[in-house]
Structure formats: C-alpha cells, structure tokens
Amino acid sequence: MKVSEHYDRATEPLISFEIIPPRRGGGIKTIFESLDQIVEKVSPPFIDVTYHAAESHVEEQPDGTLKRVVRRKRPGTIGLCAAILHRYNIDPVPHLICEGFTKEESEDALIELNYLGIHNVLAVRGDNTGTQVPMHTNGTANKYAIDLVKQIQNMNSGEYLEELVNAEPSDFCVGVAGYPEKHFEAPNLDWDIQRLKEKVDAGADYVVTQMFFDNDVYFKFVEKCRANGIDVPIVPGLKILRTINHLKTLPRHFHLNIPDELTEEVDANPGRVEEIGVKWAQKQSLELMEHGAPGIHYYIMGNPKSALDVIDYIQNK
C-alpha cells in the first residue's frame, strides 16, 4: 500500500520508523532483531530505509604510498527493503538521493523497486559531505530533490530517460523532506517553504520533517505550509536524545536547535541522558498527537529501545 493511502485510511496517528543499512561487511541479523522488536510492539504501516552514495578517501598502503579508495559504506538499501516487505509484510520506503547518483542510476533503482513490488520512495537531494565521488555526468544528474520528484512522476506517466515504445508506467508514491527550522542553505523559512511547495506541486504526496526538539517550530511550520497551499500530510520526525554527545553532534550535523530546558537538564544530570531524552520525546509525542499530527516518524537508525519506551508510554495514556 502507498504511504499516502495509509494516511488517508488512518483513524489515529500512525507510528513509523527510519533505519539505516548495516555497514559493508555487516550482517542483517541485528537489523532483523531490531525489526522483530518493533513489529511485536507496534506493527508500523511503513519503515524508511536510508540510501548512501559512494564516498572517496585516501588509504595508506603497506609500501607507504597513498591510494584513493572509493566505496559505498552502507550498500544494500534495496535488498533490505525487499526483506522488510517479504519478511514482515510492511511497506518499505527506500530513500533515493540526488547527490552521488546519475539520473540513469536513479531510473535503474526505480525499475528494480517497481519489479519488487515496492511503490514508495522518499526523494531527497542529500547533503554534500565533501567525500562523495565527483560525477562526470554531462548534465544527467538530478541537482535538487524537485528534479528527482519530476523524474519519478515522469516514470509514473510511462516516460523514461530514453524514448521507449509501449513503456509501462510505474506507480510510486513520493515523499519529500521538510525543514521546520529551514534548510541550512535557505536564506529564510519562507523561501524554504516555497521550495517545498514546488516539490509538492511537482507530485510529492507527503512530507516528513527533519528532526526537531521544540514542537512550536513544527506547529508554526505546518501553519505556514498550509497558508502557502501545501495540503499533503506533514509528518513530524523525532530523534530521541540518547547520549550527551548528541547535544553537539545533532545541531552541527542537522542544523537544529535544542531547547535550553533540555540542555540544562542534561548538563545537571549527565548520567541520566537517555532517561531524560525519552521523557522529552514522550512529552513531544503526546503533544503532537493531541494537536492533530498525522503520525510520528522516529529516527531510530539501528536501536529501537528508546523509541519503544516512548511508544509504550503514549499507548498507555
């Protein structure tokens, strides 16, 4: 089922999750162990799986020379999505990114997903970390998420990169990212919302937000989106604070603000960080649901424990 259909049919807020594939050489067993816990407790309608471009770095060789090495540290998104679909009968949502991939590679991935019966994708630009492999594409790369959304919608209309006779259309539901505190490259929030509106007008079916720790920024973001004609579901994304290091790494990597109240409590009780983070997310989750959020999307990556503690709490309220 499409994510948009899940939201259309929902009679209460939906709970969904986002996970990350194991590193190259890692096994899928730990992923299944996490998913087993999730399915037993929640049975989510869909699960997102992140996608990763190849990266380049330099390694010193035994003879002392330096060699440039290119590899994807976390391959396997499509295979993991197929496993989720067929092992759990849960709709997987693979992420597709512009950064590091050509349009041809994106089309190939979409064809594979279509053959596997996977009909949901999240289209994102992907941030340039400076380690991605430069592409010599002669203009064949999607520069922004809106370009990828348009490519997917063209395939939904039976239009591929090359003209094909009797080409069958795909049938993808497309999600995109939204930034309640604006994308770090945007000059201001209003400008950023206009870019989001363009993605929705191009065919995006729903929006999942970047993580945030202050619900007011989500409520104001949704209000501004509605005022600008964005009428698709806007799903809040939450990350649970689990380590004291998150106070520095999350703002640095995701360009978000952590409220003073939360940082002060963690600073005063550094040995209880995860407990404090869970209680904060419990409060956030309840308030979001009470104010009409269509669901909550938890960024758990590889560890579901904190999120399940939050869900235990809100399910018993």
Paired residues of 67 in beta bridges: 59
* Per-residue pLDDT reduced to its tens digit, 126-166: 865 554 445 554 568 999 999 999 999 999 999 999 999 99
* Domain harbouring 257, CATH code: 3.20.20.220
* Neighbour-count burial of 65, counting CB atoms closer than 10 A to its CB (0-12 exposed, 13-18 middle, 19+ buried): exposed
Question: Dihedrals φ, ψ of 177, to 5°?
Answer: -95, 145
CA angle (302 as vertex; 297, 308 as ends), nearest 5: 55
Q: How many other CB atoms sit within 10 Å of the CB of residue 125?
A: 19
* Per-residue pLDDT reduced to its tens digit, 217-251: 999 999 999 999 999 999 999 999 999 999 999 99
The pLDDT, as a whole number, for residue 128 is 59
With residue 276 as reference, give the H or E element that holds it. helix 273-290
Structural domains counted in the chain: 1
Name which of 9-18, 46-55, 84-93, 208-217 the model is least confident about: 46-55
Q: Which residue, chain included where needed, has tokens 């501004």?
A: 224
Nearest to 199 by CA among 170, 219, 179, 171: 179
pLDDT, average across residues 299-316: 91
Range of the domain at 207: 3-315
Let me know if 18 is a catalytic residue. Answer: yes
Name which of 82-91, 133-142, 150-159, 293-302 the model is least confident about: 133-142
CA 317/CA 312 separation, integer angstroms: 9
CA 195/CA 245 separation, integer angstroms: 32
Which pair of structure tokens corresponds to residue 105?
Answer: 């590679």
Paired residues of 173 in beta bridges: 120
Task: Kindly report the average pLDDT of the chain as a whole number.
Answer: 91
* Per-residue pLDDT reduced to its tens digit, 33-59: 999 999 999 989 999 999 877 554 455
Longest dimension (CA), the chain: 67
The pLDDT, as a whole number, for residue 139 is 61
Which pair of structure tokens corresponds to residue 136?
Answer: 């010599």
CA angle (201 as vertex; 195, 203 as ends), nearest 5: 115
The pLDDT, as a whole number, for residue 26 is 84
Q: Confidence band (pLDDT; 50, 70, 90) for 14? A: very high
List Cα–Cα distances, 47 to 14, 38, 79, 104, 136, in angstroms. 11, 10, 14, 26, 33
Contact between 53 and 132 under an 8 Å Cβ cutoff? The reply is yes
Which of 12, 18, 274, 275 is labelled catalytic? Answer: 18
Q: Confidence band (pLDDT; 50, 70, 90) for 69? A: low
Q: How many other CB atoms sit within 10 Å of the CB of residue 139?
A: 7
